[in-house]
Amino acid sequence: MTFLNPWPILSIIFLLVNPIRGVDDPKIAKSYTTSHNTNSLLHRELDLENGASSFPAMVDALEVMQSLFWDPSISTWPLGIDWTRATFNTHILTALSVMATYENFKYRSEIPKYFSEAAAFYTGENATSLVTQKYDDQQWVILEWLEGIKFINLYSDTDASFEGRRYRSEFAHRARVFWDLASQGYDTTLCGGGMLWTNQLAPYKNAITNQLFVASSIGMHLYFPGDSNPNPSSVPNSTYNSSQALPPVNAHDSRYLKAALEEYHWLSTSNMTNAQGLYVDGFHITNWTSPTSIGSGKCDARDESVYTYNQGVLLSGLRGLWDATGNDTYLADGYGLMKSVINATGWQSRSTFTSHGSWAGLGSDGILQDLCDVDGSCSQDSQNFKAIFFHHLTLFCEPLAMDERQLQKSHYSNDSVIFIASSAQAQHHQTRCNSYEPWILHNARHAYATRNATGVYGGWWDANETTPTGWTSSLSGAADVMNKGIPQNRIWRLPSNPPIPTAGMTAVVNSSAPDPDLNDRGRGRTVETQNGGLALMTCLVNAQEG
């Protein structure tokens, strides 16, 4: 088996105990299209032991995602929200790259159909809304369209008549516009550097926004093909210098590499990891009250909340830093983070859990989980977190490029600037990544078992177990923006007290009627939990193939 290619305590809790069921009910998915094959795996038991069974499971997850949640008439997933939709498209494009890499005639014909949906989302994406959102939201858009470009580079090589090539410049333009917007969040007046989460709230320098800035900046350096489209209005009605023609930017512009290196230097020295080696959520600034009264000016008030996605995005960023520099420190940092993550699920080996049935920091029984998975209290945001973790692990563990020929048959464009690995370096990376495979398989088996009779994945992959000992509800204790909504207290608010958007932030707890299917609690199975299944199966296939 090889990897080839591969806060302070809150006083106010915004908890909707009795959500109004209606059009926004995440459980009311409807089947929009019959253009997809009927799901052939529903009643098949797969042990996912090797590519012959995990490959169909990945394609099935994709098919359920698109047949149940994608609406071709408006080219979007109506039940998603802007940032989760950007990740759905990203993960679909990665799955398509995996399908294109591992020739499998049974599925090859499906690739153009799914790609046309991914490309249609260029129009379906609400860019007008995203340009006004937080610096993390904007960066998922960058990763999304870079993933589109990577797919096009790869697939063009195998299919000379591929029409998708013509989208490259549009994808590039949007990635460029969103990088320009997001990079305005980099701030050196507080904490000596790092990205702000948003300029709409009191300063918060958090893991996700900063990890995304490593990943999106290095991604721009490696994959962005340049952009000479001067038109800012291709982001509809944006405030992006809408009166000015945009200057052209070349591929591999030095600003991107510089930003990625500077960001990672800041992040890795910011003291953002806890005793278990996991990234916590981020930093407030003690006594900050306004832009002219910045208190300590330091990242000294740490939010200890731990989430799965905060351990994931950095992995692809580190991989990109290696590709750009050949500096082994970056990969070593990634292996270190993976070691911490796997340990924090309670996993030691296939058959030995350090502590069966007990919470280990980021899961139990060797299964990756967010706290909210356990009691079904996840918000729409946090239902999407594990998908992100596994997606970025997939990218981290793609094999290092060893020669020019391999480069040409890859995601890279033919003027690529990537570092060529020695065979010892490539082997070392492969060995490390191979060691994750049993853990990925273990997670995949449990996740696969959570599918309902329509093939939709649940969000709590350890749902067969009772509540792990030592687990504490995310609904009590530490501040948890994602799960409880942004607190309306001083630490978050600017003096101007702008309205605080809440999309995706409302946890839903249905305390009535115990349901025998624990994955139907709360928001239940959704397009986000399906995205988790897709990203995990893609990670497994990539780990097993080759």
Ligand X SMILES: *[C@@H]1O[C@H](CO)[C@@H](O)[C@H](O)[C@H]1NC(C)=O
DSSP per-residue codes, 22-46: STT-TT------S-SPPPS-TT---
302/409 with CB nearer ligand X: 302
Q: Which is nearer to ligand X, 104 or 267 (CB)?
A: 267
Task: Please state the closest distance from residue 476 (CB atom) to ligand X, in A.
Answer: 20
Closest to ligand X by CB, 104 or 310: 310
Q: Which of residues 348-377 bind ligand X (CB under 6 A)?
A: 354-355, 360-361
Is 505 a binder of ligand X (CB under 6 A)? Answer: no
**Only segment of 93-101, 111-119, 403-411, 520-528 that touches ligand X (CB under 6 A):** 520-528
Residues paired with residue 535 on neighbouring β-strands, in sequence order: none
Helix (H, G, I), strand (E, B) or coil at 15: strand
Q: CB of residue 519 vs ligand X: minimum separation in angstroms?
A: 9
Q: Contact between 512 and ligand X (CB under 6 A)?
A: yes
Q: Could you say which of 2, 200, 229, 276 contacts ligand X (CB under 6 A)?
A: 276
Considering only residues 435 through 494, tell me which ones interact with ligand X, judged by CB under 6 A. Answer: 446, 449, 452-454, 456, 464
Out of 226, 295, 438, 546, point to the residue binding ligand X (CB under 6 A).
295
242 touches ligand X (CB under 6 A) = yes
Under the binding rule (CB under 6 A), the answer on residue 253 touching ligand X is no
Question: At its nearest, how many Å lie between ligand X and the CB of residue 84?
Answer: 14
Using rule CB under 6 A, residue 520 touches ligand X: yes
Question: Residue 152 corresponds to which amino acid?
Answer: I
**78: contact with ligand X by CB under 6 A:** no
Q: Is 237 in the site for ligand X (CB under 6 A)?
A: yes
Nearest to 14 by CA among 528, 508, 513: 508
Residue 533's φ and ψ, nearest 5 degrees, are -60, -45
Q: Which is nearer to ligand X, 107 or 267 (CB)?
A: 267
CB atoms within 10 A of CB 536: 31
Q: Residues in contact with ligand X, total (CB under 6 A)?
A: 49
Q: Does 414 bind ligand X (CB under 6 A)?
A: yes
Query: Does 506 engage in binding with ligand X (CB under 6 A)?
Result: no
Task: Judge contact between 451 and 192, C-beta under 8 A.
Answer: no
Contacting range for ligand X; rule: CB under 6 A; set: 44-52, 187-195, 394-402, 519-527? 519-527
Verify binding: residue 31, ligand X, rule CB under 6 A.
no
Binding segment for ligand X among 190-198, 419-427, 477-485, 509-517 (CB under 6 A)?
509-517
Nearer to ligand X among residue 104 and residue 518 (C-beta)? 518
Looking at the Cβ atoms of 78 and 546, the one nearer to ligand X is 78
Identify the H or E element spanning 106. helix 105-108
Check residue 51 for interaction with ligand X (CB under 6 A): no
Report the residue number, 39 or 156, with the smaller CB distance to ligand X. Answer: 156
Q: What gap in Å lies between CA 270 and CA 194, rounded to an integer?
A: 9
Stretch that binds ligand X, among 213-221, 294-302, 306-314, 471-479 (CB under 6 A): 294-302
What single string gives the DSSP state of each residue in 332-396?
A: HHHHHHHHHHHHTTTBSSSS-BTTTTB--SSEETTEE--HHHHHT---TTGGGHHHHHHHHHHHH
**If binding is defined by CB under 6 A, does position 344 make contact with ligand X?**
yes
CB-nearer residue toward ligand X: 518 or 545 = 518
The residues facing 303 across adjacent strands are 282
User: Using CB under 6 A, which of 72, 78, 112, 277 touches ligand X?
Assistant: 277
Query: Distance (Å, rounded) from C-alpha 218 to C-alpha 249?
Result: 15
Q: What is the DSSP string of 181-238?
A: HHGGGB-SSSTTS-B-S-SSSS--EEHHHHHHHHHHHHHHHHH---B----GGGSTT-
**Is residue 271 near ligand X by the rule CB under 6 A?**
yes
Q: Are 90 and 142 in contact (CB under 8 A)?
A: no
Q: What torsion, rounded to 10 degrees, do the Cα atoms 381, 218, 2, 411 define?
A: 100
Of 93-101, 252-260, 484-492, 508-516: span binding ligand X (CB under 6 A): 508-516
Q: Does 27 bind ligand X (CB under 6 A)?
A: yes
3-class secondary structure, 7 = coil
* CB 106, min distance to ligand X, A: 25
By C-alpha distance, which of 317, 383, 358, 316 is closest to 466? 358
Query: Which among 546, 415, 531 is positioned nearest to 95, based on CA atoms?
Result: 531
Contact track, ligand X, 302-321, x by CB under 6 A: x-------------------
> Pick from 333, 133, 130: which is nearest to 235 by CA?
130
Smallest separation, CB 204 to ligand X (Å): 15
HEC letters along 276-326: CCCEEEEEEECCCCECCECCCCCEEEEEEEECCHHHCHHHHHHHHHHHHHC
Residue of 24, 244, 232 lying closest to 128 (CA atoms): 232
> 40: closest CA among 62, 13, 24?
62
Q: Is 49 in the site for ligand X (CB under 6 A)?
A: no
State yes or no: residue 75 binds ligand X (CB under 6 A). Answer: no
Considering the rule CB under 6 A, would residue 496 count as an interface residue with ligand X? no
Q: With CB under 6 A as the contact rule, which of the stretches 96-104, 121-129, 136-144, 305-313 interacts with ligand X? A: 121-129
- Measured from the CB atom, the residue of 340 and 542 that comes closer to ligand X is 340
Footprint of ligand X (CB under 6 A): 18, 21, 27, 29, 126, 128-129, 153, 156, 180, 237, 239, 241-242, 244, 271, 276-277, 286-287, 295-296, 302, 327, 329, 340, 343-344, 346, 354-355, 360-361, 413-414, 446, 449, 452-454, 456, 464, 510, 512-513, 515, 520, 524-525
